[in-house]
Structures are given as C-alpha cells and as structure tokens.
Amino acid sequence: MTMDSPEEHRMIREELGRFLARLGGVEAAMRQSEGQAEGEALWQALAGELMFTGIGLPEAQGGLGADMRALSIALRELGRVLCPVPFLSTVGLVGQTLAAAPEGGVRDAALARIAGEGARAAMALAAPLGADPVPGVTAQADGDGFVLTGAVAAVADLAQADLVLVPARLGDDVALFLLSSGDLAGAVTDRSPADATRPVGRLSLDGLSVAGAARVGDGAALAAGLARARLCAAAEMAGAARGAFDITRAYIAERKQFGRRIDSYQAIKHRVADLFVALNAVDALIDAAAAAWDEGDAMAAPDSLAALAAALEVLERAASESIQLHGGVGMTWEYSPHLFHKRALAMRADCGAPEAQVTALGRALLAGDLPVLPDAPEGDPLRREVANWMQNALTGRFAELRHRGGAGDGDALTDLRKDWEAELAKGGWVGLDLPKDLGGRALTIAEQVAFHEEYARAGGPGRMGHIGEGLMAPTLAAFGTDAQKARHLPGILDGTVFWAQGYSEPGAGSDLAALRTRARQDPETGDWLVTGQKTWTSLAHVSDWIFVLARAEEGSTGRDGLIFLMMPLDQPGIDIRPIRQINGGSEFNEVFFDGARASADDVLGAPGEGWKIAMALLGFERGISTLGQQMAFAQELQAITALARDSADPHAFAPALGRAWQGLRAMRHGAMRILEGLASGQNDAAALGYKYEWSNWHRSLGELAMQVLGAEGAVRSEDPEIARLQSLALFVRAETIYGGTNEIQLNIIAERGLGMPREPRGAA
C-alpha cells in the first residue's frame, strides 16, 4: 500500500487530526511537561493502531512509500499539538538517512523495524541540521570492525531510542554506524531538556568496538538524508507555528479589555494577519519541496533549506506572539504558550540559525549554483509555441520593448506598446481565459500560467491592455449583457481599445466605500451624468475608456447605492491631469468629471450593485497573470545578483539575496496553490494575503538593489539596466500603497479571511 494520492493525503491529515483531538490536542504535551509519561502510549498508538511510522519509508522494507508529501502532512499535524513522540527523530531523520543509504541487511532490518514494529530511533548529530554535517565522533578500522570515540552533547530522543544512527569521521570521509540500545550500555546519559516534550541525552563513546556490519552508509548517504530531513523538521515546526497561532486566535476572541474583545483592536488584527501570511508562505515552501522530492526535481534540496529557515523564523514569531497576545497569563505554566516558545528555542539549537541558512542560499546564487529563473518544463508544446512566437515577434521595431513598461517604467513607449497589443492579438495571445463564444481561447489555468511565464521569460513588455483584458473583459463576461459584450469585448480582444480604472478618490484613499463621485440619471435620455474626481488612474492619459464606481443614490453611504459605469474618456466634461511620481514618471493621473456622460447602455449590472461588481473585478486582478509578474521579479533578482557578483565584496550581500530567493519561491508556490484551489472551486483565505506578500517582498528587493549599487545608486546612471533598477527602487515604495495600503490589506485578511471583528466605520 502506498500513500501518494491527494485522497490518501487527505486521509492522513484527517485520521491523524482525529486521533490527536481525542487526546485533547496540546493537552498531552501539557501533561508531559508536568512529568507524566505520555509519549510511550502515544507512540504505540501511532505505530500499532495507525501504522503511521511507515509513512515516507520504502515499501521494500514495509513502509508506505517514499512519499514526502504524506510525511510532511503527518509531521505538521503532530507539530500542531507538540505531540511528545520521537516521530521526527525516527522517521524524519534516521528513516530518511537510512533510506538514502545502500541496501543491506542491517539497514533493511532497521527500516523494517521502524515501519512495522515502531522501533524508535535517534541520530547523533553534532552540527545543526541546517548546516553541513560535522561528526562529533571519529572511527578507526580495527580488524573486521571499527572503534568509535567521541561525544555528542545533546541528542534528541536518545534515551528512549531502540536504534541510534551515529555519523563518524573515518579518514577523509564520513561513515554512518547503526547501533542498538544494547550496544550503548553506559554511553547514554539523560539530560534535562528545555522542551519537556523532546527528551535529550548525551552520547559518550570512549573506544566503543562495533562490528563491520554496523557501518550502513557514507557521507553521500548522510548528505542526502539530511537534505530530506530538513524538510521534515520544517514541516513539524510549521505545524507547531500553526498550533501556537490557533490557540492565540481562540484566546483573543474570548478575552475582553476596555469592554471589547481584544481581537477587535486593529493593532492586534494586523499582527495576527501578518503572521497568517507568513504561515502560508512557509506552507507553500514545504508543499513545493515535498512535491519536488517526490518528483525527483533538482530544486528539492534548496527548497527544503529555504523551508527550514522560514519555518524556524515563523515558529519563533508565532510562539512570541502567542505569549504577547495572551498577556500576563502567557507567562504562566498553566497556559500552553510557553510550550511553543520552548519548542522554538529547542529547534533553533537543533537546526541552527536561519540567517546562516539563507546565507548559504545567497552564496549558491552568487556562485551560479542556484537558478533564479525557474526552468521551463520540457516537452510542453504550448510553452515552445509561446517562446518561439515571442522570439520572432520581439524583433525589429518591437525589439526595444524587451523588459520595458514594468515597475516604475509604466509610461514608457506607450504608442509602441499599443501596437504590440495589436500584434499580440493577431498572434492569438489576448483573451486566453475567456470562453470561445466570447472570442477567447478558453485555456486551462496551467496553459495560462505557461503563457504568462514564457511571456515574461522572453522579456515581454508591461501590458498596456492589462486593465481591459485582465479586469474589464472577465467582469463583462460575468455581469455584462449580450449587447455590452458585443460592444466592448472586440476592441479589447483585438488590442485596439484601452481601459483605465476609476476607483480611488483623493478623500477616500484605500477606503473605497467612502467614495463621493456622484452619478445622476438624466430624466430625458436615461444617461448618467458624473461629477467628481478619481485619482491614481493608471495610464488614463493614453486610454480610450474608463470604468467608474460612483454613488447613484442621494444620501447613500458606504457600500450602498453604488453604480458601475463604463465611460469614454474622449468627451466634454472629462479633464485628465498627469501626476508626476517620485521617480519622474507620470504613469498615474487625476481624472476630473464635470457632468461627463455615461450611456444608459453602459451601466454594468443594476444601480445599487456597483459594490458587488467592483469586488468581483478586484478578484480578477489577483489572477493568473501574477505568475508572469513573478517571472519579471525573478529577472530583477537575477540582474541584482549579477551586480552583486561583480561588486568588491559579493558575499556581503549573500544573506539578503538568499532571503529574496526564498521569498520569491514562497510566492511562486503559494500562487500556484491558490490558483489550483480556485480551479477546484475552493475559496482559500490565503489568497487574500497575496498582494500584501508580493508588494512587501518587491519593496525589499528595491532596497536591496540600492544596497548593491552602493555609491553609484546616488548617481543618475546612463546604463539602462542600472537606471531601471534605480527607478524600481523609487517606484516600489508605491506598491504597498496602491491597490489597498498594507494597513487595509491586513484588515481584509483579518476580517474576511480570519473572521475577526470588523473595524467600526464612521459616516461617509
């Protein structure tokens, strides 16, 4: 039997969740911290009742298959309640390392004992799991056997282990020795652990003679096993972070202060929402790394190291926030936050500092050993078609468009980019997601992802038609009448009609419901006359139409009484004034309406339904094109890495480069997971955090660009690549503001995603 399908993964999560819930969740860990022996019965149930000790181990030795996705799920569930069992040590460390070792009698028998009998195991690691292995024991050949000498001061789950895997220095190599508890009489000393849910012992070997058969592997097996074990540790820590997050959410929903639930205070909500985004990013890294191991992808090891560093940090954050938001009781023994804090301290000691791990990733980037741009999957005919078309099309007069029109460069070459939109339309690359009966291509999500990634990989310019194709077209498809679709979709789909967005207003900021622009119906014609002002309207000065959210009912406030209008920009009563930005560009505009007219036929939906339609449109904004956006981010990171490589001290930038790569991988895999969920009809709350995540990441990338440029960053450069990075560094400051400020985004995540109380609203 194997467990490598989504249904079987779901079964593992649910079955283990029910089992742990029957034990009272984290109560077992609480009892263990009080000195009660909880672990033995729990372990026997996991091994005997559930037979879960075989997850992630080879079928040939009685395991359930080397399925890292299943193993990561089990570890997260166990971590969520700090289950006091040696599952990580036994299956995650020893099991994965033995599985990477050559087949042999001792090795095979040990795996069979773990999978079938629930034998417990420990690994005597002298160096942190997240670092290169440095054995604390030396081995010398002695006839047909070996003599082991050395000590490892703190070995998790050692005293209860039936099997102990000891890495030892043997000449210029590393050898792995598998010993039984009987071999180690007198060599194991119990120590008092900081985290009572994870016993710790000292291993002292003073000339211990072992048989030659005890040698089960070498340094290559150890390195391969630890690469997988890093993911296992990350999964357990991510689960623990979720556990701390869950108990904190439950507490702040019940606790009242100054007459209010404390989770109604914005300061509390923002901290919780920010942590929620970080938790989702770690889960995305873990899921991606697990899938990569199962599929034999070369990115499995670096993704696992990135996940380990991220999980360490998020567990420390979640544990610290749990204590802080519990207030005084968080510092008491009777409440559980202290258990998560102790687990975080113990795991940092076991795994090492996250800074060292992201530095290792940054050094690999600088050395060219770690790709920034994801490789294009082989054998995909659509990707080949897109790549070939882009190579042929981005030539001649379009050649100068490569990599133009991105962040901070949005008003560049607008006439040529309009011509490019028409060229895209001729090639069949507009309206990819629309139904065929509306003129689209009805491509699947995977096919749309392929297009957007290959478009960005080829250096395709920023899309002049994005607002029309990406926002207006799907909104028309969802809410428009047949006549409206027939009137407006053809111009969008042939790349000749361009749209602007009329949402933001000077007095409303990110509070869209506070808008004041008025629309009143002309009693003679039925048309709507619009008066007011919109701001931050991207490319309005070179657009043909604008969709406008306005207040249609006198005296209405908030979300009530709104209307969604489509209006031509070239008409009396509309005045467009560019806004000069801090980078010198003028991509954004103010648009003034003074009795401007919207035809009665250009009302989308009914008067009063404006808010519903506006929110649906914003949902389309966070769609599949984000994968292309991330490809552009990767190209920016690649350019910054190249500059750092040529600097006087490249390694000084390694930590920041590693963090940038880690964050980019988390966003990519998180977006893929969200899109897969949307395709299956799941409305994942994690999707609400995507804008907050990418805008903060991109802002940090702009700061990194200036750090790498050093003194040259203060001089206007004639080099187009450097000038682009300088403009990027200035422009990205806006990304945490437009489309909803960070503060608004955190409110949305907290209230809509996590169900926390809404902020009180004043009068409009």
Residues 6 or more apart whose CB falls under 8 angstroms from that of 6 comprise none
505 is catalytic: no
Cα-to-chain-centroid distance, residue 341:
24
Rounded Cα–Cα distance for residues 163 and 106 (Å): 11
Candidate list 15, 355, 621, 743, residue with the active-site label: 621
DSSP class of 454: H
Q: 145-156 and 215-218 as β-strands: parallel, antiparallel, unpaired? A: unpaired
What's the one-letter identity of residue 24? G
Rounded Cα–Cα distance for residues 52 and 17 (Å): 13
Residue pair 613/479 in contact by the 8 Å Cβ criterion? yes
Altogether, the residues listed in the chain come to a count of 764
CA neighbor of 687 nearest in space, from 270, 312, 276:
276
Residue pair 354/312 in contact by the 8 Å Cβ criterion? yes
Q: Give all strands (DSSP E) within 511-649, no chain letters.
A: 518-521, 528-534, 545-551, 562-568, 574-578, 589-598, 603-604
Rounded Cα–Cα distance for residues 509 and 504 (Å): 6
What's the one-letter identity of residue 197? T
- Token representation of residue 709: 């440029």
- Per-residue three-class SS string for 294-359: HHCCCCHHHHHHHHHHHHHHHHHHHHHHHHHHHHHHHHCCCCCHHHHHHHHHHHHHHHCCHHHHHH
Rounded Cα–Cα distance for residues 634 and 631 (Å): 5
CA atoms within 13 A on the CB side of 95: 35
Rounded Cα–Cα distance for residues 312 and 116 (Å): 31
In whole angstroms, how far apart are CA 211 and each of 106, 166, 179, 184, 216? Answer: 11, 14, 10, 13, 11
In whole angstroms, how far apart are CA 238 and each of 27, 38, 56, 94? Answer: 19, 22, 18, 20
Please give the positions annotated as active site: 621
